[in-house]
Amino acid sequence: MTNYKISSRAYSKMVLHAAKYPHCAINGLLLASSKDTSNNIEIVDVMPLFHQNLHLSPMAEIALVQTEALAAANDLQIAGYYAACELFQDNTIEKAPGVKIADKVAENNPNAAFIILNNTILGGKDNGPSLNVYQNKENHWVSTSFTLNQINETLDAVELLIQRGAMKDLYDFDNHLDNIKNDFSNAHLNRDLQQLLAMY
């Protein structure tokens, strides 16, 4: 069984992506160090992909290729997929958008994770991290455990970011397609998150 750790940066960006488009399903890719072993994977960052074109399509293929290149340039690998459902109560893998993308990622990385954001507690800190994590076992996604780095500080920071409206500063690949100046790696947001977490 693989041990999954999720960094404050990765968690924050997933929640902000979902918070920016509460009326839409969203998805993205998980990134981990290329040096991670099959037993221990830390999701250090994410690449927000879509809030419109969530299925395996030519645009998704382009996004995968670009993400793979950006990851390799930073000594990272694609280590999974995340999604949030459109409907508030739909928080299961059966309802998740873009499962074929997750399956494709798992073909290239058998230890890939599939994260479903739990809309019912999204952004709140009282109920803990708003995530359900799955691992691919014999071509089936099964629920598994995870840890969130600096859990209390991260949940406090995310709640504050949402209150500040920081989600408007996050770009996904759909935004990048609208204007290539919109950096879907969100380097600008990474700096803000680092500064905020340093305050705790």
Closest to 96 (Cα-Cα) out of 31, 28, 41, 46: 28
Confidence of residue 193 (pLDDT cuts 50, 70, 90): confident
Please tell me the pTM assigned to this model.
0.93
Does residue 193 or residue 103 have the better pLDDT? Answer: 103
- Lowest-confidence range among 25-34, 56-65, 117-126, 147-156? 117-126
Confidence of residue 194 (pLDDT cuts 50, 70, 90): confident
Tokens (6 digits) for 136: 């691919």
The model's pLDDT over 92-146, given as tens digits with 9 standing for 90+, comes to 777 787 788 899 899 999 999 999 998 776 666 666 788 999 999 988 999 999 9
**Distance between CA atoms of 176 and 50, rounded to whole angstroms?**
10
Q: How many CB atoms lie within 10 A of CB 110?
A: 11
**Chain length of the chain:** 200
User: Is residue 18 helix, strand or coil?
Assistant: helix
Residue with tokens 């074109």: 53
Q: Which domains does the chain have, with CATH numbers?
A: 3-198 (3.40.140.10)
